[in-house]
Amino acid sequence: MHWHGNAAAGIAMALSLLAALPAASAEAPIRIGSPYATSTLDPMRSAAAGNIETFGQLYSRLLRRGADGALEPGLAVSWDISADGTVVTLKLRDANFSDGSPISAADVAFSLLRVRDDAESAYAAPLQQLKEARAEGDKTVVLTLKHPFAPFLGNLEVFNAGIVSKADVEKRGKDAFTKDPVTSGPYMVGEWRPNDRLILKPNPNYWRVGYPKNAGAELIEVPDANTRVSMMLSGELDAARDIPWSRVSEIQAREGLTLPLEPSTVIYMTLLNEMKPPFDDIKVRQAAAHALDAPAIAKAMTLGHAKRATTTLPAVDYHAADYPGIDYDPAKAKALLAESNYKGEELVILASSSGDNDKLSVLIQAQWTAVGIKSKIEKVDRGVWWERIPAGDYHASASWWYNETLDPDLAVRWALCGSCGSKSFYTGYNNKHVDEMTEAAARELDKAKRAELYREIQATTTTEVSQIPLFYAPYANAYSDRIKGLGMNPMLQWSLEETTVAGE
């Protein structure tokens, strides 16, 4: 229970405020343990998982996702798209920042343009098609696009599109803002202890009346997975991210705890460097793919909790769920190798020291060895991995990625498009027709035609082995029965404002 400010007749306001303090603090905060750190409170400065989870609690966006994944009004109560698809006009609701100042169209334009233009913006891609953002009065925002762009509304719901206070950023500067910002979301900063926890308290000026439904939360950094499990079992945490697959059944069997496997957009795959031999030869790539028993790998890695990946895209909109994928066929792999330019040279499988990459690399190595592909595993820390992969200093690497929105455009541009900036996740895969279809699908406003284009993109990139799809992993997050309503959507957003504490 938190106080709503109704003073009893005849009691001075000061005494009423003091009387309210114990009631507000009586409810213990919701404690969430995560391996992912909060390193900034500025939504444009990072695309790291821990920050993405945090940004959704501090900043409202123009649109929000409903429980069914559909876009719903957020700070924008309505929107209109011009007949040619290039102008989006949004009407804003009456809403205030956490300091009580009104959220205006000027704040919206400022927030979106800083994501697009600021040199410190970590992820400008979702708003690159935005040509102009301007305020028409206090409650109307007009967004002009460079061309028709079907994913745009969904991109307004991406983690870094949260609305910040123009006055706060400009008055105090970005460095001060990132430590203790004025917020537009359900919570404001109570206290931030970097490398430990972020304490959230309810935003009394939040536009959703009656929300948040709790007295606040603590986002606690707990890097070690087994420590998170122990803290869940002892009641020190109310929720925990990324429970190890080996301990999922233990949590599920424990009275007072639940662990639903929540849908995600995560895909595990094997990167193949096509910028040098032998994976510049499609037959070697196809051999490497047919050599891997993806269902068996998925079972070994997740104890049966993940689904085999059949295309190069995760479970986003327009995912071709009926596509058959690459079959496990060691004999075919050997035949393809015999026809290829592979001469038995030893390949480097670059393995990051984070997560389960070591185990996954060993499984890949063993199955490649069985068909005649020689390899050695080179283990490096995550920072070195991110230096060597973009530099093309590897032959293969087990990895994973996820999409920030349900629309596939950003995923395709990141992982499968050779001319879109990331060299198809630094594999060097480059198919001009795929790149053309990527652009065509983004500009196509007809959903059926978009579906056809994305199906062809998936078929082409899977057949040509731009990457080797392995499995789709759900989120394995644990929850205490002390809380109700907390969950994580596929875009790494907590439903924290909806969460209640049992008996309080």
Q: Give the model confidence (pLDDT) of 32-57 as tens digits.
A: 999 999 999 999 999 999 999 999 99
For the stretch 420-425, contacts whose Cβ atoms lie closer than 8 Å and that sit 24 or more positions apart, written own/partner, are 421/125, 423/275, 424/466, 424/467, 425/271, 425/399, 425/401, 425/467
- Residue 19's H or E segment, with its range, is helix 13-26
12 — phi, psi (to 5°)? -65, 150
pLDDT-derived band at 356 (thresholds 50, 70, 90) equals confident
The predicted pLDDT at position 331 comes to 99
C-alpha dihedral sign at 34, 38, 39, 43? positive
- At the topology level, CATH places domain 263-475 in Dipeptide-binding Protein; domain 3 (3.10.105)
* Beta-sheet strand order (sheet of 130-135): 76-81, 87-92, 140-145, 130-135
Mean pLDDT (whole number) for 338-342:
98
Hunting for tokens 């939360």 — which residue is that?
217
**Rounded CA separation 86/84 (Å):** 6
The predicted pLDDT at position 339 comes to 98
SS3 of 453, please?
helix
DSSP-based helix, strand, coil % in the chain, nearest 5: 35, 20, 45
The predicted pLDDT at position 26 comes to 59
- Axis crossing angle, helix 330-339 with helix 357-371, rounded to the nearest 10: 70
Hunting for tokens 């957009």 — which residue is that?
265
% of the chain beyond a pLDDT of 70: 95
pLDDT-derived band at 353 (thresholds 50, 70, 90) equals confident
The predicted pLDDT at position 4 comes to 32
CA distances to 97, 106, 205, 216, 431 from 19, rounded to whole Å, are 26, 39, 21, 19, 67
257, two tokens: 């705890």
**Rounded CA separation 357/413 (Å):** 24
10 φψ region: left (φ > 0), alpha (ψ -120 to 50), beta (else): left
Evaluate whether the domain defined by 60-177 bears CATH number 3.90.76.10.
yes
pLDDT over 90 (residue 238): yes
Tens digit of each residue's pLDDT (9 = 90 or more) over 194-205? 999 999 999 999
114 — phi, psi (to 5°)? -70, -35
Number of Cα atoms under 13 Å in the Cβ half of residue 178: 15
449, two tokens: 């035609």
pLDDT over 90 (residue 409): yes
CA distances to 143, 278, 499 from 212, rounded to whole Å, are 30, 55, 8
Mean pLDDT (whole number) for 393-417:
96
What's the CA angle centered on 121, arms 115 and 124, to 5 degrees?
55
Mean pLDDT (whole number) for 113-120:
96
Give Cα 379 distance to the centre of its chain.
Answer: 26
SS3 of 349, please?
strand
The overall average pLDDT reported for the chain is: 93
**Rounded CA separation 114/85 (Å):** 23
pLDDT-derived band at 66 (thresholds 50, 70, 90) equals confident
pLDDT over 50 (residue 236): yes
Mean pLDDT (whole number) for 373-387:
96
Helix residue ranges, H only, 208-329: 225-234, 248-253, 282-290, 294-302
Mean pLDDT (whole number) for 213-235:
97
Architecture label for domain 24-41+185-260+477-504: 3-Layer(aba) Sandwich (3.40)
Instruction: Give the single-character DSSP code of 246.
Output: G
CA distances to 130, 201, 412, 446, 456 from 437, rounded to whole Å, are 20, 46, 10, 14, 8
* Beta partners for residue 258, in sequence order: 479
| Domain limits, the chain | 24-41+185-260+477-504, 60-177, 263-475
| Lowest-confidence region among 24-28, 283-287, 447-451, 493-497 | 24-28
Mean pLDDT (whole number) for 300-306:
97
- Axis crossing angle, helix 282-290 with helix 357-371, rounded to the nearest 10: 110
Closest CA to 160 of 67, 58, 271, 44: 44
pLDDT-derived band at 69 (thresholds 50, 70, 90) equals confident
Hunting for tokens 């080996």 — which residue is that?
246
